[in-house]
Amino acid sequence: MIAGFQDGYFKSEDEEQIANKIAKSEADILFVAITSPKKEIFLTKYKDVIKTPFIMGVGGSFDVVAGFTKRAPLWLQKIGMEWSYRIYQEPRRMWKRYLVTNTAFIWLILKEKIRLSLSR
């Protein structure tokens, strides 16, 4: 049974009302299909309000399942390069997420690895 739904195109001033609505639904499972980092920020901010036992961020999975977005060819999926296909499909929307953010993440990992190796 579906306890409720909410599109992800809401304003920040509506967040608390939405979190309360989720809590009142007493759902056992919550799928959050809004973009990163918006879903992570929302869930962290309202973790004490939303007491759903199982919460999963599914990103654009519903768009794929519904047929709105095509998945990458299987060979790209198998080699872990599905992100490149997403950039190809939606370059204006995805370039920052994959190129800028991932590069920054890799840089932070390398800095931490260097710091740890120097502290030994």
CA distances from 47 to 25, 39, 110, 113 (A): 15, 12, 31, 31
| pTM more than 0.95 | no
Output the CA torsion 7→8→13→16 (10° steps): 80
User: Residue ranges of the domains in the chain?
Assistant: 1-69, 70-120
pLDDT of 30-69, one tens digit each?
999 988 888 999 999 999 999 999 999 998 888 889 999 8
